[in-house]
Amino acid sequence: LWRPLLAITVHEELARVEGLPVPALRIALMLLIAVVIAVAMKIVGVLLITSLLIIPAAAAQRHARSPEQMAIGASLLGMLAVCGGLALSWFKDTPAGPSIVVTAAALFLLSFVLPRRGV
C-alpha cells in the first residue's frame, strides 16, 4: 500500500489520473491513522503520541530528499527521542512522557542547527 498511499498524500489529483481509487485509499489512510492513534493513546498517552507523530516528521522533513527518506528519518528520530527521553528520565528522575517530548523537541531544534539537505 506504500505507493498508492504516497501518491494520494503527495498529489491527490495525479493519483486520480493514474487510476487509483482515491476515496477508498483516503478512507484506508484515515482508518490506519485512527487505529494507530487509538491504540497508542491507551499505551503511551495523548501528549506522547501527538508529539511522536509530529515532531520527528517535522525534523526529518528538513533533511530528506524523498518521502521514503523522510519516513525512515522520522522513525529513527522517534526511536532516538524515546531512548534519549527514557535515559533522561532514568538519570534525572523525571516523568518518562514529558522527558521523551523534551528530547524530541531538542532533536527538532537541533535539526535547525544542522545544514539543510532536502530539496
pTM confidence score: 0.82
H/E/C letters for each residue in 37-60?
HHHHHHHHCHHHHHHHHHHHHHHH
- Do both 50 and 92 map to the same domain? yes
Print the domain residue range for 14.
1-44
- Domain count within the chain: 2
Which helix (H) or strand (E) segment holds residue 109: the answer is helix 96-113
- Do both 65 and 23 map to the same domain? no
- Do both 2 and 18 map to the same domain? yes
- Do both 2 and 40 map to the same domain? yes
- Do both 84 and 27 map to the same domain? no
pLDDT (tens, 9 = 90+) of the chain, 119 residues, equals 888 988 898 888 999 999 999 999 999 999 999 999 899 888 888 889 989 999 999 999 989 999 999 999 999 999 999 999 999 999 999 999 999 999 999 999 999 998 876 45
Q: How far is CA 68 from the centre of its chain?
A: 12
Question: What's residue 116's pLDDT?
Answer: 77
Contacts for 28 with CB less than 8 Å, ≥ 6 apart: 1, 5
Question: What's residue 117's pLDDT?
Answer: 67
